[in-house]
Structure 1
Amino acid sequence: MKRLVKGPKSFIFIMILSLVVTLIPISTANAAYNLVWSDEFNGTGIDGNNWSFETGGGGWGNNELEYYTNRSENARIESGNLVIEARKESYGGMNYTSARLKSQGKKSFKYGKIEARIKMPKGQGLWPAFWTLGADIGTVGWPKSGEIDIMEHVNNENNTNGFIHWDANGHASYGGASQAVDVTQYHVYSIEWTSSAIKWFIDGVQFKEANIANNINSTEEFHKEHFILLNMAVGGNWPGSPDGSTVFPAKMYVDYVRVYQDGGTPPPSSSIVNGGTYKLINVTSGKALDVASAGTAPGTNVQIWSDNGTAAQKWTLYQNADGTYKLINVNSGLALDVSGSGTADGTNVQAWTDLGNGAQKWSVVQNGDGSYKLINANSGKALDVSASGTADGTNVQIWTDNGTGAQKWTLVKL
């Protein structure tokens, strides 16, 4: 989804053998990553801590036909999905509306695995995309910022596309089409991005790879932080204009966006027993994660308390299908939960009925010292003892991951 004109007949390709690591790469994705951030879209509205809207018309360098708005008609949360809706309507001097969200200035990443679970419409003139831009685009411009197109789909094609764009004494690009895929059903679109290569996957199956090792072919743009974008364009140089067969409104559904990075430690499943019961001892205080007064009602506060061996301090860890864990308190049968599915620093942690939502999903990530941090899947924030407290009854909350002892927990198998 370009800042400048782009389409199969207008690309400036650098087709250099050294850029292509594997001409026909088919493999499965590397699983040795730790979740560092996600948006599960389980709240009631689009999280302003993660996303902002780009608005306006004018073609966006591609002669696109939509006007991007920040209205709920064009972007909203529905049933655990971000919905981006393109509509045929006159607005801002354009004949179509849609939405374009970006994490610029809020979340940016260098290297790792970036993925989203998406289903999207087919239709002449429709152009949904999941992509990144270099965080320095405001100062260096495009294409010197670099761009990674994780997933683009146009028209009624039975495949998607993955590309990179950069500056090599002018606009350079490399990439191509995926294997056949029914884009109207949910699929996981991802890249694995290291200092050596960028690899594209659908549902864990690789279809393209680019060599960026040692800035080969002036690819230094891919060794710096990028932010994430999600949008659906209407029209443009690549897809062309809609016609009478195009169905509006057209909706793109995004179930989640997740970013993983290789912290150099084994994935938690290698050391955590699925279905095992543990006590969680905070490293700073030496006290246990505890349900206040051994309460059994949803909404009971979670705190730290002197390790006393009671069931209120025992938690059974069950692994979810996405690799995260839910923590079920043995005494109450309630799940470790972020109040109100909150994402702000200081949001309270409580015990609540097991719902299976992102507020109750935790990535259990081993630290270098053998302790663990628990990262909430919905907020991307860590399980934290308020103000690094050590007294019985000190509150437990979520807070930005800062690596302090207040966020480190020793898991003791019972």
Structure 2
Amino acid sequence: MIRLIKSKQTYFILLFAALVVALFPAPKANAAYTLVWSDEFDGPTINTNNWAFEIGTGSGGWGNNELQYYTNRSDNARIENGNLVIEAKRESYGGMNYTSARLKTQGKKSFKYGRIEARIKLPNGQGLWPAFWTLGADIATVNWPRSGEIDIMEHVNNENNTYGFIHWDANGHVSYGGPSQSFDVTQYHVYSIEWTPSAIKWFVDGVQFREANIANNINSTEEFHKEHFLLLNMAVGGNWPGSPNASTPFPSKMYVDYVRVYQDVANPPGDIVSGGTYKLINPKSGKALDVSGAGTANGTNVQIWTDNGTGAQKWTIYRNANGTYKLINVNSTLALDVEGIGTANGTNVQVWTDSGNAAQTWNITRNADGTYKLINPNSGKALDVASAGTDNGTNVQIWTDNGTDAQKWNLIRVQ
């Protein structure tokens, strides 16, 4: 969601960044995209394994002087006929005069690069501000705008176009973006971005209307080379659209048919070789990912232990058809597994018979410092050393992706 520019210095930084992006466009994407995650909204209720609710008014109306109170009530967000419906209402609630909903995948699903799209039908009305967007998964530690933000679709008031923007930090808040072509926003349309290491491109119904160059962190755009989570919301009022008036229809509804994420699975990250055997060393402790007691039974715990080169610390990495990976322990031939297909922070990691289920799939992403993180796509959470411990026998678990050293691994090929 757009934040207003608050200083003359920031304005000139923004202008410079926009000119550089426009004058030096990135190469066109040529990715072999495969669907890696979606929510089709075909269940009876909102899937809380995918979505969490923001509640309340936020600080200063979420930084934009917005006028709504976000709730988790079915009055404001629900599933109807295969659609997620976000409904803004004029009513007194929580000290505000309007209610609406804001859903996010934070702590549940996050993504870096790919095609991200949603099929959405929007309302028109003065003061209405629906959006489909992303924020950096590390926002809780680095704050906005250092988290980065990608606005895939924003619409304000009665305009016959939408907007695509990015926001980031370059010694202050800067942004780049602008409007789409003209069309009827009150009908269903597919809003998408194609996001690669080189560029972010915006589309409506497959027609590109904007492109930002992010290659090699140009203009301090490192915020767009890390995991982001997704958001869907409809704000009421705020700095950009202004306040509703007597003509604004309430209730107003935003219909989301689906959200889908596609990624290029043709190219594995870094130099990982499918079928290669690796040891995984946590750089904070210098210790290896290890099967406790060199065990071979289902449910044997996974821990860190002094690197000793045994089979308990060797893992053969295989690439799955959908671009995720499984890790098979050489000694036991069992797979690295999230206990009970759990999704909660602190869920134990163990070894278990290779079954190919969601508990045993991992996205492997290279960090800027050359280490890797392993994200379980079922939970959206990272392979993590409990309490950032460094002692032999410290447990390994899943935890919200936070970019700390407890979630970093050096992958060293041994054969």
1:126-151 Cα deviation digits (max 9, x unpaired) = 00000000011101111011000000
The count of corresponding residues between Structure 1 and Structure 2 is: 284
Is residue 11 of structure 2 the alignment partner of residue 14 of structure 1? no
- Quick one: which amino acid aligns to residue 54 of structure 2? E
Is this contact kept in 1: 2:193–2:200, CA < 8 A?
Answer: yes
Instruction: Kindly indicate whether the alpha-carbon contact (under 8 Å) linking 2:31 and 2:264 is maintained by their aligned counterparts in 1.
Output: no
Q: Which residue of 1 aligns with 2:312?
A: none
2-structure distance, mates of 1:11, 1:247: 36
- After superposition, where does 1:310-349 map in structure 2 within 5 Å? none
Aligned to 1:240: 242
Unaligned runs of 5+ residues in structure 1 are 266-362, 369-386, 391-395, 404-414
Question: What is the distance in 1 between the residues matched to 2:214 and 2:257?
Answer: 30
* 2:266–2:323 CA contact under 8 A, matched in 1: no
| Conserved 8 A contact 1:124-1:243 | yes
Q: SS of 1:195's equivalent?
A: coil
Alpha-carbon distance change, 30 to 40 in structure 1, aligned in 2, over 3 angstroms: farther
Over 3 Å counting, the alpha-carbon distance change for 1:366 and 1:134 in structure 2 is: closer
The root-mean-square deviation of aligned C-alpha atoms, in Å, is 3.2
Aligned-residue offset at 1:264: 1.1
TM-score, with normalisation over the residues of structure 1? Answer: 0.63
**Is the CA contact (8 Å cut-off) linking 2:151 and 2:164 kept in structure 1?**
yes
Is the 2:10–2:172 Cα contact (8 Å) retained in structure 1? no
Distance change in 2, residues 1:115/1:30 (3 Å): farther
Cα offset for 1:5? 3.6
**Structure 1 residues 56-101: Cα deviation after superposition (integer angstroms, max 9, x where no partner):** 1141110100000000000001111100000000000000000000
Per-residue CA deviations over 1:222-246 (Å, capped at 9, x if unaligned) read 1111000000000000000001110
Consecutive aligned runs of 4 or more in structure 1 exceeding 4 Å deviation:
363-368, 387-390, 396-400
**Per-residue displacement from partner, 1:310-363 (whole Å, max 9, x unpaired)?**
xxxxxxxxxxxxxxxxxxxxxxxxxxxxxxxxxxxxxxxxxxxxxxxxxxxxx9
Matched, 1:111 2:71: no
Choose the corresponding residue for 1:99, options 98, 101, 117. 101
Q: Which residue of 1 aligns with 2:49?
A: 49
CA distance in 1, matches of 2:362, 2:223: 28
TM-score by length of 2: 0.63
Query: Which residue identity lines up with residue 227 of structure 2 in the other structure?
Result: E
Specify the SS of the correspondent of 1:109. coil
Name the structure 1 match of 2:34.
Answer: 34
Q: 2:252 aligns with which of 242, 245, 250?
A: 250
Structure-2 separation of matches of 1:114 and 1:227 = 11
The one-letter code matched in structure 2 to 1:181 is F
Q: 2:88, 2:234 within 8 Å by CA — same for their partners in 1?
A: yes
Contact 1:15–1:174 (Cα < 8 Å) also in 2: no
8 Å CA contact 1:21, 1:211 repeated in 2:
no
2:167 paired residue number: 165
Q: Secondary structure at the match of 1:61?
A: helix
Partner of 1:179: 181
The Cα shift of 1:39 comes to 0.5
Give SS of 1:20's match: helix
Gaps of 5+ in 2: 268-319, 326-351, 364-415
- 1:67/1:97 contact within 8 Å kept: yes
Q: Which residue of 2 aligns with 1:59?
A: 61
Structure 1 residue aligned with 2:266: 264
